Amino acid sequence: MKGSFKPHKKEVKIKKRSSISKSLREKVWKLVSGKCHICGKRLKKNAKQGEYGRWHVGHVVAHRRGGSGILGNLLPTCRDCNLILKDSGSKRIKKILRLGVWGESEIRGKTKLGKQLAKLYRNRKLINAQRK
């Protein structure tokens, strides 16, 4: 089978992204008054790594999909939302949102499943709070 390997004809070259300047980060922060653009969680402006409330500068169009580091393509996000969205396509994001809406309506309606979801949710929040 010598010589059977054929490399891809097209190689996608992604430019190395530059770090976001302090002044641009400040402008991004002001866009939504210190809240995560996705979930609305309060963010801490100068939080250190590992500290609660630390925030990321999220790209509307991901860098790997050709998105730039200009103000119009950047939004403040909490760590959790940014990591969920980081490698997710729009189909996955829509599915996550639909499941959240559906689960919330089950909880509000106090169905058997809704009660189980509420319990799981409370337990997860406790576990997460203990890690901080």
Query: What's the number of domains the chain is made of?
Result: 2
Helices (H), 20-73: 22-31
Partner residues linked to 42 by β-bridges: 35
Average pLDDT over residues 89-99: 81
Q: How long is the chain?
A: 132
Task: Say whether both 118 and 128 belong to one domain.
Answer: yes
Task: Say whether both 71 and 125 belong to one domain.
Answer: no
Task: Say whether both 26 and 78 belong to one domain.
Answer: yes
Return mean pLDDT, the chain.
80
Task: Say whether both 20 and 80 belong to one domain.
Answer: yes
Tens-digit pLDDT profile for residues 4-16: 444 444 444 556 6
The answer, yes or no, to whether residue 67 has pLDDT greater than 60, is yes
Domain span at residue 30? 16-87
The fraction of the chain above a pLDDT of 90, given in percent, is 18
Q: How high is the pLDDT of residue 8?
A: 45
pTM above 0.75, yes or no: no
**What DSSP line would sit under 84-115, residue for residue?**
HHHT--HHHHHHHHHHHHHHHHHHHTT-HHHH
The answer, yes or no, to whether residue 1 has pLDDT greater than 90, is no
Average pLDDT over residues 85-108: 84
Least confident of 83-92, 97-106, 117-126: 83-92
Task: Say whether both 76 and 20 belong to one domain.
Answer: yes
